[in-house]
Structure 1
Amino acid sequence: MLFTPGPTAVPPEVREAMAQPQPNSAVQQEFADRYHRLCEDLAAVYDTDHDVIVPGGEGILGLEAAIASLVAPGDRVLCISNGIYGDGFADFVTDYDGEAELVSAVYNAGYDLDAIEDALAAAEEADEPFKLATLVHCETPTGTLNDLSPVLDLLDEYDVLSVVDAVSSLGGTPVPTDRIDVCLGASQKCFSAPPGLTTAAVSDHAWEVMEDRAPTSLYTNLLPWRDVSDGFPYTHLDANIAALAEAVSRVRGEGIENVYDRHERAAERCRQRGRELGLSLYPDEERASPTVTAFHVPGEAKRIQQRVEADHDIVLATSLGDLADDIIRVGHMGYNADVEKVDRVMDAIAVAVE
């Protein structure tokens, strides 16, 4: 029983769609039609009028490609962070010869709005404006869901493009996509499809900046995906597209508001059971994501993970970096956002922590 916060368990219907003979993505209109329907369905899930594209490559491709497509050497980028993936955006900026300014908050707290506003104001006063800012909606390693709206308000005020990693929130909780210039998702989280595809909603403004940037890369470049009427930039992942199309169809068939409610119920049951076991949340309830619960178990995470898998055949995740042995994570997202499944997992954790 795979109960990690991505890759997630894949429903039988999605596996079946992937296993079918697939049209040739390079020459058959059937594949192009499927791709365009998928983009339309994703736009409905994103709840956006922006263009939606689906490049071939795991979700990290989207994060890197957004930077490669927008950041020219010397461009200043405000990297807003309270976690590992927020910090990682700064590394991408540096890799593409941009100038990253990192505004950090502690991992179990929200964004530092005063520090963000100070950085934006100082940049404007020095006539060294930021071209764009990067944010993370859900920091998966800590289960922290960030409130994007006040930050997006500031970015609008200072006319700064926004790039948001919504990989582990999209499809599980609302994302303010139409306020975001590049909003990134992936197949293997709340959609419960196999890893291998990036999704991105891109504003007209972001496309214009990409065209001015004229990226030199092919693979880490979103711009060629803007218009695929004459063919895809490279051979697409036909079976992965079939799987994601089925997964997104399932979400739309259930109704996105019903999907959000299901995630909230699963999260609440997980945390209720955790409280009964005396487990502490990381972060607090106010900032905890509906898609993943992180319990703070200092020095015990790997032992609990191994015990639960050995005794109950349930796979959980620990955190990353310095918190790797201090946080055990329950990934109640997508197909696993189910109260009965959560109860089975928490029963196993109860035995491991007794």
Structure 2
Amino acid sequence: MPTRFTPGPTTVPEAVRDAMAAEQPNPDIEAAFADRYADVCEKLATVYGTDHDVVVPGGEGILGLEAAIASLMAPGDRVLCVSNGLYGDGFADFVESYGGEAIVVSAPYDEGYDLAAVEEALEAAAAEGDPIEVATLVHCETPTGTLNDIGPVLDRLENHDVVSVVDAVSALGGTPVPTDRIDVCLGASQKCFSAPPGLTTAAISDRAWDRMEERDPASLYTNFLPWRDVDEGFPYTHLSANVAALDVALDLILDEGLDDVFQRHERAAERCRTRGRERGLDLYPDPERASPTVTAFHLPGEATAVRDRVEAEHDIVLATGLGDLADDILRIGHMGYNADVEAVDRVMDAVGAVVE
């Protein structure tokens, strides 16, 4: 089997794989599953660092992004989408698909958020008598290895009483996330948690729940509200094996300690970038905004060829960019179980042998 250093899904530890392979209780009937689900939500709240409610629907992380829009927005609503990347842009697509108006404040993919434009959009909407009530942003734009400074945007959203939705899928469990300042903070099992893909995680504030209660979502599946109270049963048959796997993955994180986990990610990221600089590789974002969970090296027109050779010659799977940057960015995912300095050295030895 090849060694996988992709920015999600990540390598899954043996203990997590064993948990998923074990016989599982019936999630529709047996109390053992409900107890495990409650434990997982409690452990996730610790990783999130929040007192907000945490829910875990069955479905890959994109489910959370779509469900946040479907749950908070009614047709005709305007939603501010703050973007400097592919996933930031994607929120606008969800808004429009549910009949809303996306007000997109864009910045180039290799730059930070345009704070002046965010404030201008909020003030203009308020002056028109139709203030923006929901906004979306992305903490870690995985396709470009960018960790956004979301604090200044959250400041502006708080000043205008806007419900915030943050895609923190590639940040949670790898770097601190200001969850208690966020109304809907989205994660997923397959990134820094190092569990198999299949589960969305979300920390949801009381204010966000209240707004959801006022809406009438057209979907059961892309809807967070049925997950608010599962004492009487789950909205649909849950992914019991995935929940068991996530339970063990969270134990590994909490046993290590969050501060140590975050420091391990920082060390792995720094080693990856140091080794890259030694080979003359440029980062895509500037170092001040590079994520501790994924490194994006800028190899215009060469990324696909380098990725393919690393796999063919060294049995290591990496990723390229997405969209217009598909052949310009080589991505190395040092997140979760793969945030390990020695493992990063092996990967960078292979990359160095290909690019020299």
Calculate the TM-score normalised by the size of structure 1: 1.00
Write out aligned runs for 1:189-200 (5 A).
Answer: 189-200=191-202
Q: Is it true that 1:294 corresponds to 2:288 in the alignment?
A: no
Residues in 1 aligned to 2:28 and 2:75: alpha-carbon distance in whole angstroms = 34
| Residue from 78, 81, 92 that aligns with 2:80 | 78
Query: Secondary structure of the equivalent of 1:303?
Result: helix
* 2:76 partner letter: G
Inter-partner Cα distance in structure 2 for 1:304 and 1:290: 22
Deviation at 1:244, TM superposition (A): 0.4
List runs of 5+ in structure 2 lacking aligned partners.
none
1:213 aligned partner: 215
**In 2: Cα distance, 1:328 partner to 1:267 partner:** 14
Counterpart of 1:235 (choices 234, 237, 243) is 237
CA drift at 1:215: 1.4
Equivalent residue number for residue 128 of structure 2:
126
SS in 2 for 1:236: coil
Distance 1:15 1:180 in 2: 32
- The number of residues matched between the two structures is 354
Partner of 1:225: 227
1:274 matched residue in structure 2: 276
Name the CA distance, whole Å, in 1 between partners of 2:203 and 2:350.
39
Within 2, Cα distance between the matches of 1:283 and 1:99? 30
Residue number in structure 1 paired with 2:262: 260
- Post-superposition CA distance 1:110-163 (Å, at most 9, x none): 100000001011111111111200000000000000001100000000011000
1:340 aligned to which of 339, 342, 353: 342
- Give 3-state SS (helix, strand or coil) of 2:29's partner: coil
How far, CA to CA, are the matches of 1:346 and 1:161 in structure 2?
Answer: 42
Distance apart, 1:216 and its partner CA: 2.3
What's 2:253 paired with?
251
Taking only aligned residues, the RMSD between alpha carbons, in angstroms, comes to 0.4
Residue 184 in structure 1 maps to residue 186 in structure 2: yes
Superposition misfits of 4+ residues, deviation over 4 angstroms: none
Whole-angstrom distance in 1 between the partners of 2:262 and 2:181: 20
Q: Distance in 2 between matches of 1:352 and 1:64?
A: 39
The corresponding residue for 2:146 is 144
Q: Deviations over 1:213-248 (max 9, x none)?
A: 121210000000000000000000000000000001
Selected match of 1:306 from 308, 329, 351: 308
- 1:248 and 1:102 map into 2 onto residues whose CA distance is 35
Task: Give the TM-score taking structure 2 as reference length.
Answer: 0.99
Q: 2: distance between equivalents of 1:20 and 1:182?
A: 32
What's the counterpart of residue 324 of structure 1? Answer: 326
Counterparts of 1:221 and 1:122 in 2: how far apart (Å)?
30
Structure 1 residue corresponding to 2:65, chosen from 44, 63, 66: 63
Question: What percent of counterpart residues are identical?
Answer: 73
Provide structure 1 residue ranges, at least 5 long, that are not aligned to the other structure: none
Give the Cα separation in 2 of the matches to 1:48 and 1:329.
30
Q: Distance in 2 between matches of 1:306 and 1:214?
A: 47
**Structure 2 CA distance, aligned partners of 1:73 and 1:318?**
36
1:15 partnered with 2:7: no
2:51 aligned to which of 27, 49, 52: 49
Letter in 2 for 1:3: F
Pick from 81, 85, 89: which aligns with 1:87?
Answer: 89
Structure 1 CA distance, aligned partners of 2:183 and 2:218?
A: 21
- CA distances 1:68-109 after superposition (whole Å, capped 9, x unpaired): 001001111000000000000000000000110000000011
Structure 2 Cα separation of the partners of residues 245 and 108 of structure 1: 36
Output the amino acid matched with 2:39: R
Deviations, residues 285-341 of structure 1 (Å, cap 9, x unaligned): 000000000000001100000000001100000000010000000000000000000
Aligned-partner Cα distance in 2 for 1:43–1:19 = 25
Post-superposition offset of 1:165: 0.3
Distance 2:188 2:283 in 1: 26
